Structure 1
Amino acid sequence: MNLGIDPKVDFACKRLLGNPDHPDLTIHFLNSVLRPESPITDVQILNPSIEKEYEGDKWSLLDIHATDELGRLYDIEVQNTKPLGLSKRLAYYTASLLVGQLGEGEEYFELRPAINICLLDAKQFPSVQPLPAL
């Protein structure tokens, strides 16, 4: 039965993949897209806000922010258009996830991977072929 809800709409996607009450949808999505050697078995939906540390810092709001059982961090973004500067914005978000991990005296090897996935209703890399369906 078609409910008439477009899953590419920001609100609908956030309710599906960013819902802490239904982590199985996010787990299935991440395993389908990333195809990790060892499947992801647990995710926790986190606060999507990247808070300002200083008054002059930029505040950001991720669409969906999650972590898995190995401590990998995920930012899943939904875009119905291809905004200018998208690549730089995604790099900034991913870097923000890395920067927030370490405190004074901690070593860089302790950093957990930060992975950004963007659901985009346009081609960002026209020469790249999509992965075959599972």
Structure 2
Amino acid sequence: MNHKTPKMRHTLLNDVIFKIVFGSAQNERVLRSLLNAILQLEGPDKIVQLELLGNDSAKTYVQDRGAVVDVRARDGHGRIYNVEVQVRNPVHYVERSLYYLCRLYHEQLTRGTDYHELRRTVAISLLDFVLFPEHDRVHSRFRLHDSRHDLELSDILEIHYLELRKFKSDGILDKPLEKWLHLLRYSEVYGLGIEPLPDFIRAEEEMVMAFEAMNKAYARDEVRELIEARLKAEWDEASRLGAATRQGLAEGREQGLAEGKAEGLAAGKAEGLAVGKAEGLREAALGMRALGVDVETILKATGVRLEA
């Protein structure tokens, strides 16, 4: 069995790299561009200012294998955003992402504040796997909605899932979101120099900034060590869970065999008793007929029907 740590990928979809590139103050423009593209904000609704929230370094998350390495920000309108990258599909991911959205919404309330001060809270998940196989749309958006009357309760809570595996770079990519999705999905191809960065990406200053920030981050020894430590922690956890699962299956099989044997003995005993009882009733019925008892009376007494 191979116990080696998985190979580190050179991609924007690594959560530590994503935190460094999109969650640093010097790259605020990059995050702003990504959010405007995903939310399709234009004109007066466009985000022009962002304040990073909970600006912890990615390093603080390595010791906690289950931690979410995310980027949180507030715009000039007070709207709050949470953006995370997820490469693997964990169990109950939808429930987990809803929990983080609601927690971010709840954290706005402090002692002395009122409900009218709550601001719109948006969670965005960039996924390197298929979450909704029932449709082929890359971008899914959810709000609180009355499905019976087609009535939206509020836009104060909103969650977005972008399934990058569904994205296809066919034809001309002219929309900002299409370009961002292309860069996110194929950043490894360009980062490793397998193909040159395409002109339609080079024409977008913020996307070039993101690409260059990714390359600079991977060039730093401490960042690579950080990523390897997180990968090792995740690998160790997966190995531990795998071993526990195998042990549980083995113990379950042994217990199942033991219980099956016991149930088989019990069933055999019950079946034997049933057969014995049936044979006894038939013998009684035959004895009654030998004494001249009529067939109907025998049937009522024993439940055994004898031919006349």
**Which TM-score band applies after superposition, normalised by the shorter structure?**
0.7 to 0.9
Aligned CA-pair RMSD = 2.4
Distance 2:69 2:14 in 1: 15
In structure 2, the residue matched to 1:34 is: 39
Cα offsets for 1:41-84 (capped at 9, x unmatched):
111111167xxxxxxxxxx6551111111111111111110111
Higher helix share: 2
Cα distance change on mapping 1:69 and 1:62 into 2, 3 Å:
farther
Q: What is the count of residue pairs matched by the alignment?
A: 122
Q: Paired residue for 1:18?
A: 23
Choose between structure 1 and 2: higher strand proportion.
Answer: 1
Query: 117, 123, 126: which is aligned to 2:130?
Result: 123
- The equivalent of 2:82 in structure 1 is 75
- What is the one-letter code of the residue matched to 1:11? V
| Identity rate, percent | 30
> Gaps spanning 5+ residues in structure 2: where?
1-8, 57-66, 140-172, 176-308
For residues 113 and 18 of structure 1, what CA distance do their matches in structure 2 show?
20
Q: Which has the higher contact order (CA 8 A, sep 6+)?
A: 1
**CA distance 1:19–1:105, change in 2 (3 Å):** closer
| Contact 2:19-2:69 within 8 A present in 1 as well | no
Equivalent residues in 2 for 1:54-93 (5 A)? 61-93=68-100
Q: Which moved more, 1:14-23 or 1:104-113?
A: 104-113
Give 5+ residue unaligned stretches, structure 1.
50-59
Q: Distance in 2 between matches of 1:31 and 1:17?
A: 14
Please state how far the C-alpha of 1:109 moved relative to its aligned partner. Answer: 2.6
C-alpha distance in structure 2 between counterparts of 1:6 and 1:61, whole Å = 18
Give the distance between the partners of 1:41 and 1:102, measured in 2 at CA.
25
Match of 2:101 among 88, 94, 101: 94
Shift of the alpha carbon at 1:104? 4.1
Q: 1:25 to 1:62 in 2, by over 3 A?
A: same
TM-score by length of 1: 0.79
Over 3 Å counting, the alpha-carbon distance change for 1:116 and 1:48 in structure 2 is farther
Whether the 8 Å CA contact 2:23–2:55 is kept in 1: the answer is no
> Structure 2 CA distance, aligned partners of 1:121 and 1:61?
15
